[in-house]
Structure 1
Amino acid sequence: MVIERLEQPVVAGSEKPRMTLAARMKQYEAATEINLEPSQPVILRLDGHAFSKFTASFSKPFDERLHKAMVKTCADLLDSYPAATLAYTQSDEITLVFLNGVESFNDRAMKIVTLAAGFCSVHFYSHLITALAESPDPPIKKDIGSLPLPHFDGRIFNVPTVEECLNNVLWRCRGDAVRNSVSAFARSFFSTRELHGKNQEEMIEMVRREKGVVYREAVPRWALEGSIVKKTLVELEAVNKKTGERAIATRTRTMCEDRGITEFSDASLALVKEKHWPWLRKLSEFGHVLTVRKTY
């Protein structure tokens, strides 16, 4: 058995002080420690790891229960990372946008991304179990307990401007979201061999011509473009506890809209920049009011 020295030996002629084992181990750890630039925007992306195997037992081409779990996980992430201005989800990935650093853990990249990936994994699975209990049909092919546990990897990085934040979301929406959507849609009608070599437009036309199904009519909006999750200010009726009078109060809620960001515009920039949706709404005007799952 080799016993590790608690201190490094002193080399003859060297004036370097002894280094304790703890200090030496921390030095190794520090070599991979990267700090984000807190004055620049940050993108945090969480991606389902090997989700194709996990989701193989679910309804094809799209299972709304998976999507609902992703959207609710976005709401939990926005609550846990309050500096984020927007969450965008499509397929098995989530993108969070921060305008001035994450403002957590001294902007230590590894600390933030590992915690976020673990947080995302646990909350997604919890929400999915709830969704399956509430909507058991259509049944999944295997018992959920026999499937591999879903988990996420993550990456985090600075971008130089808010415009690049928008471009990142545009890239995920117009690129991966559309590609994933068309591919899943077409594969529900044709085999991989039959679709080999076909581009997106050709796949869509092939399904329309041979199966009589129109892509944009058959696919739900969230599967076409993904969904935006964001805090918003809403007007609610309230009662003044002192006077008993009814009044309109403004409160913060987490809302979801089943659409992506598909164009570079002032309105799209506002969605990325503003802390809340850029307009005040009544609560009834939103399709999805999300309840945040608190963690303690």
Structure 2
Amino acid sequence: MHKLFPISLHFFHNHRLFQTLTFSSNPLLAQTIPRMELHTTSYPVDKRLPLAERMKQYESSFDFTLPVNSPVLLRLDGHGFSRFTSHFCRPFDQRIHDAMISTCVDLLHFFPQATVAYTQSDEITLVFPFGVQSFNKRVQKLSSLSASLCSVRFNAHLTAFLGANPEPKVKESAYEKLGTACFDARFFAVPSAEEALNCLLWRCRNDAVRNAVGAFARTMFSTKEMHGKKTTELLEMMEREKGVKFEESVPKWAVEGCLMKREQFEHEGVNLKTGETEKTFRTRTRVEERGVRIFSEENLRLVTEKYWP
């Protein structure tokens, strides 16, 4: 039967905590861990307050909020995805990409103030040109909800896509990994819509192209051959040594990523009260297989306007 380990705690006035743990559940295994020095930090909380109120004040000390009316971006990144995707088709698995697209649609639905979503590789970026008003703009609340929603929806979509499209086949271990993908999330503000657009340019021109070229090159060259090579050098190696032109050999979404944005469309239906046919406008999400590679007025409108033009 397991026993609890007795722990002796000694507090000193200088706010340093010394902890000694003695394992005594089995005399043969009894030992004392060397004394560890832990540091505490002084917080401006009145210790005479009731326990629940003190704990809430400790929590609120780290509950930062986003600025009012500043453009905000949300970036979600797959955690350990190079290991996760190694069980699927290389260099690009359409089902993983489709799951990312569907997850972006879910995020746009969850955050109606976001105007555009961009995904490349294992990453998603959402733009809020007029800030985030949900959940009192609390960064911890927004980040934790975003990461959990993204993880849950991606796993659900990937499981569905793999079940509906078992070909091309994946490793048996891929099925064991289903449901284990997770994402981290970060919210941050930028001073202008122009800088929000620059963030998309950064993710597309820098990371999307580099990630895609690297993934594709690994199917042709060894780690040793690729070591220390820049993206331009890898592209030259492909063409010179393998006769392969990168952008002609991979799907466009693998090169630039994809953009998602709401659009309005005309719908014809019957008015249940009058029985007459009427035309109305509805909203849906449209996906385009392209990224943001130039700074332009058109792309600035992409960031600031609610619907596709």
Please give the TM-score of this superposition, normalised by the length of structure 1: 0.85
Q: Aligned with 1:84: secondary structure? A: coil
- Identity among equivalent positions (%) equals 53
1:9 equivalent in structure 2: none
1:121 equivalent in structure 2: 151
Change (3 A) 1:180 1:17: closer
How does 1:122-271 map onto structure 2 within 5 Å? 122-147=152-177, 149-241=180-272, 246-271=277-302
Whole-angstrom distance in 2 between the partners of 1:33 and 1:252: 35
Structure 1 residue runs of 5 or longer lacking an equivalent are 3-15, 279-296
Identify the match of residue 72 of structure 1 among 97, 102, 114: 102
CA deviation map 1:7-49 (0-9, x unaligned): xxxxxxxxx7831111111121112110101211111101000
Whole-angstrom distance in 1 between the partners of 2:195 and 2:184: 22
2:128 equivalent in structure 1: 98
Whole-angstrom distance in 2 between the partners of 1:213 and 1:17: 68
Q: Which has the higher contact order (CA 8 A, sep 6+)?
A: 1
Q: Aligned with 2:48: secondary structure? A: coil
What is the one-letter code of the residue matched to 1:235? E
| Displacement after TM superposition at 1:197 (Å) | 2.5
Structure 2 residue runs of 5 or longer lacking an equivalent are 1-5, 8-45
Whole-angstrom distance in 1 between the partners of 2:274 and 2:246: 56
| Displacement after TM superposition at 1:207 (Å) | 1.2
1:55 equivalent in structure 2: 85
Whole-angstrom distance in 1 between the partners of 2:47 and 2:82: 53
1:85 equivalent in structure 2: 115
Whole-angstrom distance in 2 between the partners of 1:33 and 1:121: 23
How does 1:27-66 map onto structure 2 within 5 Å? 27-66=57-96
What is the one-letter code of the residue matched to 1:156? F
Are 1:272 and 2:303 counterparts? yes
What is the one-letter code of the residue matched to 2:299? S
What is the one-letter code of the residue matched to 2:67? E
CA deviation map 1:154-173 (0-9, x unaligned): 11111111111101111001
| Displacement after TM superposition at 1:139 (Å) | 1.5
1:13 equivalent in structure 2: none
Contact 2:235 2:246 in 1 (8 A): yes
Contact 2:263 2:307 in 1 (8 A): yes
Q: Whose Rg is larger?
A: 2
What is the one-letter code of the residue matched to 2:161? A
Q: Aligned with 1:95: secondary structure? A: strand
Contact 2:88 2:174 in 1 (8 A): no
Whole-angstrom distance in 1 between the partners of 2:264 and 2:159: 30
Change (3 A) 1:244 1:27: closer
| Displacement after TM superposition at 1:85 (Å) | 0.6
User: What count of residue pairs does the alignment treat as equivalent?
Assistant: 267
CA deviation map 1:201-233 (0-9, x unaligned): 221121122222211111111101000011111
Whole-angstrom distance in 2 between the partners of 1:41 and 1:257: 23
CA deviation map 1:79-109 (0-9, x unaligned): 0111111110000010011122222110000
What is the one-letter code of the residue matched to 1:259? R
Please give the TM-score of this superposition, normalised by the length of structure 2: 0.82
Moved more, 254-263 or 134-143: 134-143
What is the one-letter code of the residue matched to 1:166? L
Change (3 A) 1:21 1:193: same
| Displacement after TM superposition at 1:64 (Å) | 0.8
